[in-house]
Amino acid sequence: MTKADIENLARMIDSTKGCGQQSLCKIDITHNTRWRISDSRVENSLCVVEGALSDVDVVSPNGYRYRKGFWDKVLADERVRNMIYNRECLGTIEHPTDDDEYASTPYEKASHVVLSVTVKNGVPYGKFALLDNEKGRSIKALVDVGVPIGVSTRGVGDIKEDEISKYVDEDSYGLITWDFTRKPNFPVKMNAVSDSLVSNPMMANIIKKKAIKSNVELNDDFIQALYMLKNSLDKIL
């Protein structure tokens, strides 16, 4: 083993410091919006609703936030722009629990399609066309009587931390869509991503493009052994 090999191994061991587990996570952040109907006809007579999709630089009860500039960067992504432009951004009522459905909304379970998303002062505002099916009509009925309906971003990425709080990392974040949800205002729900979701072709492409960390579980005893090895290597170096 050369000195360079030993130095590379030492750096690798240092990278495990403080990491009992590094994991790609599902990130669901809900924002309660009082939607308004902006147009009752869109090409094929679909009802269109619009409203804010998220808060920015507001720490959720669970201690996470989207930083200023997050949505500008996410929505500048060519993949996201094409997905919205081509009307492939379909949402559901409540987040899917099945991994394949989480990665790509089944047509038969969709309640709406995202028509456009714009950012104003860092806050994303969306226009959704409600589908003329049972799910879309149920949302329209609630909007008609002024019920504030939660909207939650569906995506995957990493969580980091700065001097203010933990935050969703905009560089690794992979947006999937937005879903209507009935949850308290702006909670953040973190779930480790399963192997079946990571292996989904669409999700694998997002992970590869964003270079998101996949699950790496490091046993505490193994980490301790690595540090003992590093101490020995430090003495050699």
Q: CB neighbours (10 Å) of residue 100?
A: 15
The predicted-structure confidence for 6-15, as pLDDT tens digits, reads as follows: 555 555 545 4
CB-based contact 31:152 (threshold 8 Å): yes
Q: Pick 90 or 199 by higher pLDDT.
A: 90
Q: Is the pLDDT of residue 188 over 60?
A: no
**Apex 116 CA angle, 94 and 152, nearest 5:** 25
pLDDT at 204 over 70: no
Q: How many angstroms separate the CA atoms of 171 and 160, rounded?
A: 11
Confidence (pLDDT) at 59: 85
Most confident stretch, 8-17, 145-154, 226-235: 145-154
Length of the chain: 237
Q: Taking 60 as the threshold, does the pLDDT of residue 226 lie above it?
A: no
Per DSSP, the three-state class of 48 is strand
Q: CA 199 to CA 17: how far, in whole Å?
A: 28
Mean pLDDT of the chain: 75
Confidence of residue 25 (pLDDT cuts 50, 70, 90): low
CA angle 152, 214, 80 (to 5 degrees): 45
- Tens-digit pLDDT profile for residues 100-144: 899 999 999 999 999 999 999 999 999 999 999 999 999 989 888
